[in-house]
Homo-oligomer: A and B are copies of this chain.
């Protein structure tokens, strides 16, 4: 269904038709369809969503629409919604709402939920605690498979996942049973004979990026979260881990372009915030490249004698910057995927050195030949070829050393990406170039 049909049906008050269409649509698609409606239509359409889908649709809406709906909901509607929302989605909602609406919600929920919500809101922003949910299936080791299945039938509908069941004893996590095991095992087998006791878990304060990496490594559907006392307090599910992975990749890519990352999308971020995120690194890099300029002025006599020398500055700087960026990008990505560590430094340097010999030879020869043909000047061709070779070796070494050293001192390697490398490589490429030129031309 598209927006125009929906609006027309709403205007004609064909609510039954709307309801039966919404009944077969996926929750994510309903949320994106509703996002095209304006206030009054939105409220009307939202109230026509079948009750078992409403909370899920709500969780998939963006925060401005959520805020609007919470504002206009009756006490009863709000209570129904909050009963059906998973705890992690409730916390996400509260983090975006204005204070008066937060209070309205906290007044609506039970005292126990209020305490839980406050606890969840207190976990650090990037921690496992901040993305976990508290609705998981909790069973006992003394149960049989049949008893566990009966327990799930009774309580499972309100759990975010029932596919991983947690065996606890006085809130301590002692085992894990998958729904697959339950469904393929005989009824009278005891949980304690079925459960896995080698458990991979995270702490509430574990960084959410580390949590996401565990999901990629082990292909989990959910991972248990333990508090500092080792008690089970929640689970992180794979869908939230996937979101974290996408967010972290965006954050890395943004940092690699010398931008302070933003949590909002491009269009959601106002012009002034965009500018604020971009200016600091630009200023730092601009004043760093002044050094390159200062070095150039030292060789004023050289390019006064051979003005053509100036013409090759952009080519050398660009090639150096590109070579350095290639190396740093591969190393930064390798570090992010845990394929390269600081201990590999010398192995990486040796590899980049050999690569730069090959790359440097190809580029130096092809550009040297071009200069020979264009200017019929052997010395110039040799100067440029040698400078290229030196610049490329230097650029590739800087490009691999800096990110690895950053990782060693717990700085984000993504900061050592192309812009910073380019600026540093510039300085050295100019030094190499004019050193070779003045020597060979006896300037």
Which residues of chain A have a CB within 8 Å of any CB of chain B? 24-26, 28, 149, 152-153, 156-157, 162-163, 179-180, 183-184, 196-198, 200, 215-219, 221, 238-239, 242-243, 245-246, 249-250, 252-254, 256-259, 265-267, 271-272, 274-275, 278-279, 281-283, 285-287, 289-290, 292-294, 296-297, 300, 303-304, 307-308, 310-315, 317-319, 321-323, 325-326, 328-331, 333-334, 337, 339-340, 344, 347-348, 351, 354-355, 358-359, 362-363, 366-367, 370, 418-419, 422-423, 426, 430
Contacts and interface: CB of A to CB of B under 8 A. Distances in A.
Contacts of A321: 321, 419, 422
Nearest to A219: B239
Contacts of A254: 329-330, 333
Contacts of A300: 307, 310
Nearest to A340: B266
B275 A355 contact: yes
Contact of A339 (B179, B243, B265): B265
A362 B339 CA distance: 40
A198 B1 CA distance: 12
| Tally of this chain's copies | 2
12 contacts: A242-B245, A257-B326, A258-B322, A265-B337, A267-B339, A267-B347, A271-B351, A275-B359, A278-B326, A278-B355, A296-B314, A297-B308
A183 B249 contact: no
Contact of A242 (B216, B296, B322, B326): B216
Nearest to A240: B219
The 8 closest A-B pairs by CB, nearest first: A257-B329, A293-B311, A219-B239, A275-B358, A292-B314, A24-B198, A289-B318, A249-B249
B197 A184 contact: no
B325 A359 contact: no
Contacts of A304: 304, 307
A272 B274 CA distance: 41
Nearest to A294: B311
A359 B250 CA distance: 22
Nearest to A286: B319
B319 A271 contact: no
A167 to B, nearest CB: 15
A304 to B, nearest CB: 7
B216 A25 contact: no
A318 B426 contact: yes
